[in-house]
Amino acid sequence: MKLNIPYHLENYIGGNLIGPLSGNFIDNFNPATGEIVGQIPESNEKDINIAVEAAKKAFPAWSVSPVEQRFRILNRIAELIEENLEELAIAETNDNGKPLWLAKEVDIPRASSNFRFFATGIMHFATESHNMEDKAINYTLRQPIGIVGCISPWNLPLYLFTWKIAPALAAGNCVIAKPSEVTPVTAFLLSKICKEAGLPDGVLNIVHGTGAVTGEAIVKHPDVKAISFTGSTKAGERIATLAAPKFKKLSLELGGKNPNIIFADVANHEGSWKKMLYNTIRSSFANQGEICLCGSRILIEESIYEKFKTDFIDWINKGLKVGDPLEEETKQGAIVSKVHFDKIIRCIDTAKQEGGKILCGGKAVKLEGRCANGYFIEPTVIEGLGPQCKTNQEEIFGPVVTLQTFKTEEEAIELANATQYGLAASIWTNGIGKANRVAAKVESGIIWINCWLLRDLRTPFGGVKNSGVGREGGWEALKFFTESKNVCIEL
């Protein structure tokens, strides 16, 4: 199949590609060039209403379809994503600003894996029974909720869009999905893939528009029974305010201000040291730092601080090229939008005002040629700021990290827990006892020991505190998108 991208994108409702009922569109920009490259529907509650009606029409048949049928369709979607990897990766890079090699190696393959994982998973999703000796037997039905809303962010557009849609569809639900208005293109292309794969009309409806209008219309609609959202804590708070009084099921994966804890014993072994440095560079600046799991607060044991700082800055200066996302040697691409670019620059200015010392970076990058008007920022490292300053408390979501020191294990834990967030943490140590002690006490939903972003799709994913509620991944996702019903039969 050929995935053509029109200048005016369309909504995917009831199996058809249609424009917004209002006739209004929003400009879509390529962040690497600053140019308008297309327009997306500015949908409103009227578009959501017709999407919900299409989903209601499709739900009775889809909800009771054999799991093998769902497997075949979702697995075919996975295959088509793989077959169109090159086109999807280029679309993702042009829309988001990330390096093309990253989209090819991570984003698009993971989108395919999401569909394949849940296509297979639903074939093995089992329920429980409980025998009451000679009195009765209880068994549990797990039934699809109905119509669910899936709202995804701009940092990993197709990757996170499919992470929500795939389990919802596998469980037998019909979906109203909204990608970010900042990065809409691969979601539009997914609609073509789903049509080609034979997904019944109305089972998946993809509606474009802003969070404030389109997203809220999804959340508010009385026939949408559950919301799965990934995005900022502020937006998650708004969604909870709207959905909670209606007793909708909620999964909110929100912000992070993740600690990367480095103990001195890592320096005792050259291989461990190099592995830590390499992965700390990745966790600091991968995807321009626009990943909720990035380690934006680096906590270093005091005795190795100078060695770490010297080696870390040296690696950045030698190997972290900021450049055109389409060039193979580029390690850091464009910031996703002008709005977000301006926010990151303001955050760096705030760090300076708070007394932070810029060790490297701190400025916008002006490229030549095609990307002369793009939104690029140097990888930035800041020291000299305490745990309670704004820079160490608020999520920047860009290529900016801070360095802090600690003397004891207890102080490391205290610093790690000194924010309102609790999504992820990395711990670097050669002491297995220390690793387990610290992992148990750090307030995060995900802990990596001597690694970062090593993901198994079977494991629960989510955070604590202001990083959200609920869990995604594996059986957790399939349980979220189903309702349990106990049936008791007296013998």
Residue pair 377/341 in contact by the 8 Å Cβ criterion: yes
Under 8 Å CB-to-CB from 126, ≥6 apart: which residues? none
Sign of the CA dihedral with 345 first, then 349, 354, and 356 last: positive
Backbone angles phi, psi at 148, to 5 degrees: -125, 155
Residue indicated by tokens 């998650």: 236
Integer Cα distance of 114 and 80 in angstroms = 13
Residues listed for the chain: 491
- Dihedral sign computed on CA atoms, order 334, 336, 342, 345: negative
The dihedral through the CA atoms of 99, 105, 108, 110 has a sign that is negative
Helix (H) or strand (E) holding 194: helix 185-197
CA 87 to chain centre: 21
Top-tier CATH class for 259-457: alpha beta
Residue type, 34: G
Is residue 439 left, alpha or beta, with left meaning phi > 0 and alpha meaning psi from -120 to 50?
Answer: alpha
Name the 3-class secondary structure at 32: coil
Residues classed as catalytic: 253, 292
Q: Please state the domain extents for the chain.
A: 11-254+467-490, 259-457
Query: Cβ-count burial of 442 within 10 angstroms (0-12 exposed, 13-18 middle, 19+ buried)?
Result: buried
Q: Show the beta-strand stretches assigned E in 231-369.
A: 249-253, 259-262, 297-301, 357-360, 364-365
Tokens of residue 357, six digits: 């010392």
Q: Which two tokens stand for residue 64?
A: 């009771």
Beta strands in 263-302 (DSSP E): 297-301
The one-digit pLDDT tens for each residue of the chain (491 residues) are: 788 999 999 999 999 999 999 999 999 999 999 999 999 999 999 999 999 999 999 999 999 999 999 999 999 999 999 999 999 999 999 999 999 999 999 999 999 999 999 999 999 999 999 999 999 999 999 999 999 999 999 999 999 999 999 999 999 999 999 999 999 999 999 999 999 999 999 999 999 999 999 999 999 999 999 999 999 999 999 999 999 999 999 999 999 999 999 999 999 999 999 999 999 999 999 999 999 999 999 999 999 999 999 999 999 999 899 999 999 999 999 999 999 999 999 999 999 999 999 999 999 999 999 999 999 999 999 999 999 999 999 999 999 999 999 999 999 999 999 999 999 999 999 999 999 999 999 999 999 999 999 999 999 999 999 999 999 999 999 999 999 999 999 99
H-assigned helices in 198-243? 216-220, 233-243
Architecture of domain 11-254+467-490: 3-Layer(aba) Sandwich (3.40)
The whole model's pTM is what?
0.96
